[in-house]
Chain A
Amino acid sequence: MASGKREKFDNPVVEWIDSRLPVFTLMQKEYGVFPTPKNFNYFWNFGAIAMVMLVTMIITGVVLAMQYTAHADLAFESVQRIMRDVNYGWMLRYLHMNGASFFFIAVYIHIFRGMYYGSYKQPRELLWILGVLIFLLMMATAFLGYTLPWSQMGGWGATVITNLFSAIPGIGDTLVTFLWGGFSVDNPTLKRFFALHFLLPFVIFAVVFLHVWALHITGSNNPLGVEPKTKKDTIPFHPYYTVKDTFGLLVFLMLYVLVSFFLPYIFAHPDHFVEYNPMQTPAHIVPEWYFLPFYAILRAITFDIGIPFTDIVFIEAKLGGVLAMFGAVGVLFILPWLDTHPVRSARFRPLYRLSLIALVAAVFGLGYVGAQAAEGIWVILGQLLTGYYFLFFFVIVPVLSRIEKATPVPESINAAVLEKKKKKA
């Protein structure tokens, strides 16, 4: 990487290492003097926060894995052993299970930030795509981890989600048997889920590395969505953003600790504390809160899709639901090409801003619907909100790209910052 010209370090040990492997030069370049727009708000903390959460999950997870037993007869018992007999096992487990929730909170805010300020637009398309890939991998990892305590909710959640693949025409049933490693969710399923749950976080880590690499090529976007033009627009990453990120991180960690130590079961359904029994289906099978919007989209497709007034069906309701659910995440991959408006930040795009806030409301609404039993008003509400979700991406965003007239965009970051200061004074 940095094999070009290199400044000498005063410390002889540092210099000895750096002249052989320029890690210090690299850190200095990428995190020390790295020019960063000077107008970040606190939304820009969540990338660093998500990174810390990933590391927290890996550390607590690896230590838990030292005590956990991935076997259908022993898994539930081994989790109880962790909670009762392993030194600080309860703390590791509470931090791990609530850490998943807080990782998703950080990442959802991070994604919202990207959409609000147009961070996915040229030249950051690949950076955005890598981010969506991380999100997908996170969802897979979280789902696999949900199964491991071998509780009623975990085992039945695994049954429901893996059964989604049976909707794929032709190969569906064979594929599900392949995923299970048998003809039902049983010991082979648990063991492969554990192996994959252990593996995927390291895959995420690798993609995060690419994500950060891509970020350091294009540089960060900022609340104005205007690229830095002169040195006046940027400040070095250290110390300005190291201190700001640390402060934001600590506030976030306080919320995380508050939940993990004082409300540790707030995200956990009672059926998590009953051992998995394949002969007894729980009354309500619900996924973790962070999947509820997508669960609602899955359940919104209650009708077959075919030629009206004939009995020709192209897509059965179950497959339709599965496609809609995966489509809801998949559409994020092509967002940079759906939104071609030249102005990035929603600050200068009142119509886009309004539609995006409505989308956030719709996603919250879908989350609420996803937690209710699929009957009556909730089905219709779920369908309406799902309709808006796709309308936003496939109609509103492309149309606004063509017709929306942006309000005046400041000439540069520095000009906008000075303007703001003048107003304050």
Chain B
Amino acid sequence: MKNTAIIIFVSVLMLGAIVQSDKSLAAGGHETHMENLEWSFDGPFGTYDRGALQRGLQVYRQVCSACHSMKHMYYRNIGALGYNEAQVKAIASEYMVEDGPDDEGEMFSRPGKPSDRFVSPFPNRKAATYANNGAFPPDLSLITKARAGGADYVYSILTGYEHAPKDAHLLDGQYWNKAMAGNVIAMAPPLADGMIAYEDGTAETVEQYSRDVAHFLTWAAAPDMEERKRIGIMTLLFLAVFASIMYAVKRKVWSDLKK
């Protein structure tokens, strides 16, 4: 029984370390309000919702992409959202991509192909910063990993706009957002009810747009998630069976010492 006690002790030590590190990361920051939503990708068996992903892509393409790049994404990647090859090609071809040099050494524009990266709205960081009042709109490819809270953070920012309290001091081009650290954000409220037309009859509200685009950005940051969980479960099952067998073997081998 002593062995069991030791195993429990070791497990507690490890869990302690895990919980401790998790807490320490969450700490810090100002008084912010973060929503805590339920997502279809939560939990060990959670998966992405293809409908939400497609709607989220639509929100990104029609709204976010005016300022925010997603430079780690390729048009071919959106095949994973449930589009077929022709649809992926059609979406890619809606963008103009600079290519070249051609045989005469000239750069030229051509319609996008699935093998192209998502076209960035600005040629470089300085141009993006200059065009946005001195505030650089961050690249969104990894945003749900790069902000504590992930999808909840994205949703909270997009739905967190409020009238600034009277004592708040906002400069031109600054807005009050209850989810932002420090409550001041340089992004104008990007969404409004009804501004994007959904084809599948889903509610056209700021909340729904925010939810969908947060879902899409979570996928963009972690496209491996569904396969990861699937392989993880198989690996755990294999190890559990193997460990049980080894435990039985251990008992059997050691039993001759008990005589």
| Residues of A that sit less than 8 Å from B by CB | 38, 41-43, 77, 80, 83-84, 90-91, 94, 105, 109, 235, 239-240, 243-244, 246-247, 250-251, 253-255, 257-267, 269-274, 283-284, 286, 289, 292, 364, 367-368, 371-373, 421
| A to B CB contacts below 8 Å, 11 in the list | A42-B10, A105-B17, A240-B254, A250-B239, A255-B11, A255-B14, A260-B232, A265-B145, A266-B22, A371-B27, A372-B24
Q: A83-B224, A257-B232 are in contact. Are A250 and B242 (CB under 8 A)?
A: yes
Give complex CA distance A261, B45 in Å: 11
Tell whether, in the assembled complex, residue A247 and residue B2 are in contact, meaning their CB atoms are under 8 Å apart: no
When distances are taken between beta carbons in the complex, the residues of chain A under 8 Å from B232 are 257-258, 260-262
Residue of A nearest to B6 (CB): A42
Tell whether, in the assembled complex, residue A243 and residue B249 are in contact, meaning their CB atoms are under 8 Å apart: yes
Tell whether, in the assembled complex, residue A264 and residue B243 are in contact, meaning their CB atoms are under 8 Å apart: no
Tell whether, in the assembled complex, residue A41 and residue B28 are in contact, meaning their CB atoms are under 8 Å apart: no
Q: A80-B141, A269-B25, A271-B146 are in contact. Are A258 and B236 (CB under 8 A)?
A: yes
Tell whether, in the assembled complex, residue A257 and residue B228 are in contact, meaning their CB atoms are under 8 Å apart: no
Tell whether, in the assembled complex, residue A266 and residue B21 are in contact, meaning their CB atoms are under 8 Å apart: yes
Tell whether, in the assembled complex, residue B228 and residue A264 are in contact, meaning their CB atoms are under 8 Å apart: yes
Give complex CA distance A43, B2 in Å: 11
Binary contact readout B24-58 vs A (1 if CB under 8 angstroms, 0 otherwise): 11011100000000000000100000000000000
One of B14, B138, B246 near A105 (C-beta < 8 A): B14
Tell whether, in the assembled complex, residue B146 and residue A254 are in contact, meaning their CB atoms are under 8 Å apart: no
Rounded to whole Å, the gap between the CB of B61 and the closest CB of chain A is 20
Count of B residues near A, CB < 8 Å?
Answer: 52
Tell whether, in the assembled complex, residue A254 and residue B239 are in contact, meaning their CB atoms are under 8 Å apart: yes
When distances are taken between beta carbons in the complex, the residues of chain A under 8 Å from B240 are 254
Rounded to whole Å, the gap between the CB of A353 and the closest CB of chain B is 14
Q: A262-B229, A270-B148 are in contact. Are A250 and B72 (CB under 8 A)?
A: no
Residue of B nearest to A105 (CB): B14
One of B6, B142, B246 near A247 (C-beta < 8 A): B246
Residue of A nearest to B23 (CB): A371
Rounded to whole Å, the gap between the CB of B242 and the closest CB of chain A is 6
Across chains A and B, the number of contacting residue pairs, with CB separation under 8 Å, is: 126
Give complex CA distance A269, B22 in Å: 9
Give complex CA distance A273, B142 in Å: 7
- A80-B142, A247-B246, A266-B22 given; 5 more Cβ-contact pairs under 8 Å: A42-B3, A243-B249, A273-B221, A289-B20, A367-B20
Q: A254-B236, A273-B145 are in contact. Are A94 and B246 (CB under 8 A)?
A: no
Q: Does B189 touch A at the CB level, under 8 Å?
A: no
Give complex CA distance A62, B243 in Å: 28
Tell whether, in the assembled complex, residue B44 and residue A274 are in contact, meaning their CB atoms are under 8 Å apart: no
One of B141, B228, B246 near A243 (C-beta < 8 A): B246
Give complex CA distance A286, B89 in Å: 44
Residue of B nearest to A94 (CB): B228
Q: Does B100 touch A at the CB level, under 8 Å?
A: no
Q: A235-B257, A367-B20 are in contact. Are A251 and B231 (CB under 8 A)?
A: no
Residue of A nearest to B235 (CB): A257
Residue of B nearest to A373 (CB): B28
One of B13, B20, B223, B242 near A84 (C-beta < 8 A): B223
Binary contact readout B196-239 vs A (1 if CB under 8 angstroms, 0 otherwise): 00000000000000000000000001011000110111011001
One of B18, B20, B249 near A371 (C-beta < 8 A): B20
When distances are taken between beta carbons in the complex, the residues of chain B under 8 Å from A266 are 18, 21-22
When distances are taken between beta carbons in the complex, the residues of chain B under 8 Å from A292 are 24
When distances are taken between beta carbons in the complex, the residues of chain B under 8 Å from A105 are 13-14, 17
Give complex CA distance A371, B20 in Å: 9
When distances are taken between beta carbons in the complex, the residues of chain B under 8 Å from A261 are 228-229, 231-233, 235-236
Tell whether, in the assembled complex, residue A274 and residue B224 are in contact, meaning their CB atoms are under 8 Å apart: no
**Which of B17, B22, B228, B254: most chain A Cβ within 10 A?**
B17
Q: A42-B7, A274-B146 are in contact. Are A289 and B236 (CB under 8 A)?
A: no
Rounded to whole Å, the gap between the CB of B99 and the closest CB of chain A is 20
Rounded to whole Å, the gap between the CB of B173 and the closest CB of chain A is 20
Give complex CA distance A251, B239 in Å: 8
Rounded to whole Å, the gap between the CB of A415 and the closest CB of chain B is 15
Q: Does B16 touch A at the CB level, under 8 Å?
A: yes
One of B10, B29, B228 near A90 (C-beta < 8 A): B228
Give complex CA distance A294, B11 in Å: 23
Tell whether, in the assembled complex, residue B6 and residue A43 are in contact, meaning their CB atoms are under 8 Å apart: yes
Q: Does B110 touch A at the CB level, under 8 Å?
A: no
Residue of B nearest to A46 (CB): B10
Name the interface residues of B162-219: CB closer than 8 Å to any CB of A: none
When distances are taken between beta carbons in the complex, the residues of chain B under 8 Å from A271 are 146
When distances are taken between beta carbons in the complex, the residues of chain B under 8 Å from A247 are 243, 246-247, 249-250
Rounded to whole Å, the gap between the CB of A41 and the closest CB of chain B is 6
Nearest 7 interchain pairs by C-beta: A261-B232, A371-B24, A250-B243, A273-B146, A90-B224, A273-B145, A247-B246
Tell whether, in the assembled complex, residue B28 and residue A283 are in contact, meaning their CB atoms are under 8 Å apart: yes
When distances are taken between beta carbons in the complex, the residues of chain B under 8 Å from A244 are 250, 254
Give complex CA distance A90, B17 in Å: 24
Rounded to whole Å, the gap between the CB of B28 and the closest CB of chain A is 6
Give complex CA distance A77, B240 in Å: 37
Rounded to whole Å, the gap between the CB of B139 and the closest CB of chain A is 8
Tell whether, in the assembled complex, residue A41 and residue B20 are in contact, meaning their CB atoms are under 8 Å apart: no
Residue of B nearest to A367 (CB): B20
